[in-house]
Structure 1
């Protein structure tokens, strides 16, 4: 316990952590500043050392295995909030600094998403089965940050807000061709085709998503204008007036950024517009949590804006608009967490208890990253020319308002 105690004394500045070791002895850390009060029991002595050298990975695994438990009224949520608000002091601990330096040297290897490998990485997460995602997503199965114009809105309303915002930033015109890279279960593509007289091609590497999206297009009578393909975006050859990508850029990988933006440039005419919706962070370039990379998103990485904008410059693309959504994803994840917990028994029946604990750790830890950590979501609007969209940003608000009325006319249900 000596090494772990030494680290925790340095780590816990806000709140208090009480650790009950495998022998039942209590160790108290922090308590000088206000914050969460957490009692954690470690039942395996091997954790004392492994938590020092592999803190993020081992903490998640210990929760999954049940060798790390929370007692006396505290919860995993409390612990992850405590971790999040103290993350900077953990990062300054000498052992953690050394580990981070090593991880930074190998981060490109960790983020490899070559053709073929990218499909395997996607399948690891998105092909778990559509029935799982139906248990916690909104009714239209949008698996990305919602847009809460009012904190009291339902998840369904906030997700519709997000689609409306994206559509407005695309500044669609009748007859346009739209490419949706990483189309998920197809709701954005279907919404755009219902809203405007445009044709949409959605590409995904997930077999489960492709099958359901194709069925939804047929059921909506839109198969003639909306097509979904099981394809890597790098294999797309058609030209498009508009390109949108929501929640996919996180799976590109730093060493593939030039490849990504070069492809966008090649697929658009001079007056084309691309819109990227991605998770990012407000801190300098870093690495993905080892636990998140191993269990949830292999090959995944949420970039700093500095890493992204530099690449757009090298590829001669105008950044015509940037918007940062700061707390919207925390609220989205809180909704997902509540729905997941309400259906937890079904998840256990579909998979097992360890899987359910893994997804609890995933959803709650991500919420804390957006609530108290450095994570955010950014919208990056790009074009080859400076005037591809109106030069006054009012059009985004005006179009959203007009789309509300159009949805009513078309009887588009939230």
Structure 2
């Protein structure tokens, strides 16, 4: 099964409905929304026609309609899960704005996006038991990757940039578009890696191959890219062939735990979120043994600003099963136990929110194409995913960190000036490469 096949399971809720009176549920729902929304304007229209209004009347007057009575119970018992399920099933309708406007309203009113009352208790319990979840074995990891990344390949072309960078972009200015910001992200990472010409590089979670091809192109690096997605592997290999980089880039379908070689540089972008909390020690020990003594590694991952927290249950069920967004306090002990040295940490706060906004706008502009491929329910699910994730980075304590790691304390210059200097050099090379490509396209078009 993949993400496109996900179905809600709510049989237990049908049984629970008989234990509650309708008036009591409406009273509880009124209390819930009044606690959730103090600023803004929200009207909740129930199946029987009752209207529950909350907020101070400011801002966009949003209207939420619930299409069946059972939805009330689902929202009361597990709002973090039910909200997304109701929207993707068409049982919760937003008018006066979009689902993003509604989630943005919640984000501006709810610290950490944790609902009050029973929702806060459920969240605390999930966070408490999160560290005891089973280890993401190689089999489970492959299944989780297949679930999200091996849906119809056309979907990702509808909202990602041309290079298919499916991770946080780096917006150097507010005037940059998504294409420019994703190139800036690769440039920023490459600068931190200090890649020598012809170096051996390992890319853990290489996706569709964009970063590996960038390093092979601009540094003549010999890059090994690991992925667990057959679809990503197929496209990455084709792209390497088209760019004439196949002799220097090798993509393979392999788990990071099976590594036996050593490399001058190791990079991992947007993969660590899938490792799982109980596998952090293993992950960094693999990095340590696979990195040459004078090597440099760079980890780019989603994290949390507000301490340990369980993954949102809707995201865990429908989007990224087995995923965990760690706080630095959860990551650093595993790094220290591996013998690696943290030489630099950069926190990218709102870059992913801006990336997700660009993805959401692109997806919505191609929504009809997506519906033709995977249906309306998938489109509502994907829209909720992109909107909810953006709100999470704006209000819910999410961020992205870039952690630079070495085995030797003197492997990195004493100041960070080298990053800007290398970015400037790469920018000139990119411009020259773009001009050359434009000339070649003009020649071939004649």
Same-fold call, TM cutoff 0.5: yes
Per-residue deviation at 1:413?
6.1
Distance 1:173 1:90, change over 3 A: closer
Tell me the SS of whatever aligns to 2:288: helix
CA distance in 1, matches of 2:306, 2:247: 44
1:138 aligned counterpart, secondary structure = coil
Q: Is the 8 A contact 2:150 2:230 kept in 1?
A: yes
Q: Which residue of 1 aligns with 2:14?
A: none
Q: How does 1:12-411 map to 2 (within 5 A)?
A: 12-31=37-56, 34=58, 36-71=60-95, 73-88=96-111, 91=114, 93-108=116-131, 110=133, 112-411=135-434
Of the candidates 25, 31, 53, which is equivalent to residue 6 of structure 1? Answer: 31
Structure 1 CA distance for aligned equivalents of residues 291 and 349 of structure 2: 30
CA-CA distance at 1:382 after TM superposition: 0.5
SS in 2 for 1:153: coil
Shift of 1:30: 2.2
Q: Secondary structure at the match of 2:303?
A: strand
Q: 1:262 & 1:91 partners in 2: Cα distance?
A: 34
Separation (CA, whole Å) in 2 of partners of 1:269 and 1:258: 19
Counterpart in 1 of 2:16?
Answer: none
2-structure distance, mates of 1:201, 1:329: 26
Question: In the aligned structure 1, how far is the partner of 2:48 from the partner of 2:112?
Answer: 28
CA contact (8 A) 2:39 2:56 kept: yes
Distance, in Å, in 2 between the alignment partners of 1:245 and 1:413 is: 28
State how many pairs are aligned. 412
SS at match of 1:271: strand
Q: What is the CA-CA distance between 1:109 and the residue it aligns to?
A: 5.3
TM-score normalised by length of structure 1? 0.96
- The 1:40/1:111 distance shift into structure 2, 3 A limit, reads farther
Q: Does the 8 Å contact 1:322/1:381 carry over to 2?
A: yes
Alpha-carbon distance in structure 1 between the residues aligned to 2:116 and 2:209: 45
Aligned to 1:291, the other structure's residue is in SS state helix
Q: 1:106 Cα shift?
A: 2.8
Q: Which blocks of at least 5 consecutive residues in structure 1 are unaligned?
A: none
1:6 CA drift (Å): 1.6
Offset at residue 85 of structure 1 (A): 1.8
How much does 1:111 deviate? Answer: 6.8
Question: Deviations 1:268-319 (Å, cap 9, x if unpaired)?
Answer: 1221111001111101101111100111100011111111112212222211
5+ long unaligned stretches in structure 2: 1-25, 439-446
CA RMSD in angstroms, aligned pairs only: 1.7
The whole-number CA distance in structure 2 between the counterparts of 1:295 and 1:152 is: 34
Deviation digits for residues 347-384 of structure 1 (CA, Å, limit 9, x no counterpart) = 11101100010000001111111123211111000011
